Every structure is written in C-alpha cells, then in structure tokens.
C-alpha cells in the first residue's frame, strides 16, 4: 500500500507540472487576450481597418474564446 501511495504522489506531481507547462494560468491568459483585443480595437477605431488587422482581430478573438472554454472546463 505504501508503494501505491508513493506512486500516486509522483504521478500527481508530474501531472501538475504538465498542466502548468501545457495550459499555464488560464485566468492570466484570458486577461492578456482581452487586453490585446481591446488594444487592436482601439487602433481599428482610429485607423483604416486593413485585412491584416482583421486577421489579427480574428486570431485574438479565437484565442480569447479558447481561454474562456478552458476557464469553463476548469470551473467544472
């Protein structure tokens, strides 16, 4: 039983490390994505909306939606 307990602790530690490397802090990533989106939207309001800016906006929107999904999964 002791060996099983030690193995489970080791697996738990490895899974925590993997989670941090793979996903990082979901809340910080979501906040950063929101800030980037706000910045590009401010630029788009004052300047002409180019195709490159549209692509950037779309990718930032997708990133934000992914972060929201990860946050939702985390809370479940």
Residue 46 pLDDT exceeds 80: no
Could you tell me the pTM of the whole model?
0.61
Please give the pLDDT value at position 10: 95
Selected residue with higher pLDDT from 11 and 41: 11
Supply the range of the domain harboring residue 32.
25-76
Two structure tokens written together for 63:
């990133």
Whole-angstrom distance, CA of residue 23 vs CA of residue 39 = 24
Task: Tell me whether residue 12 is in a domain.
Answer: no
Residue 49 pLDDT exceeds 80: no
Q: Output the CA–CA distances (angstroms, integers) from residue 12 to 18, 20, 41, in the order listed.
A: 10, 12, 42
Please give the pLDDT value at position 9: 94
Task: Tell me whether residue 18 is in a domain.
Answer: no
Task: Tell me whether residue 47 is in a domain.
Answer: yes
Task: Tell me whether residue 74 is in a domain.
Answer: yes
Task: Tell me whether residue 51 is in a domain.
Answer: yes
């Amino acid at each position: 039983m002791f060996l099983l307990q030690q193995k489970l602790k080791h697996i738990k530690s490895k899974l925590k490390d993997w989670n941090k490397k793979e996903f990082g802090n979901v809340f910080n990533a979501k906040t950063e994505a929101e800030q980037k989106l706000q910045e590009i939207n401010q630029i788009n309001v004052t300047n002409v909306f180019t195709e490159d800016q549209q692509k950037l906006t779309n990718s930032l929107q997708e990133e934000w939606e992914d972060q929201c999904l990860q946050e939702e999964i985390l809370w479940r």
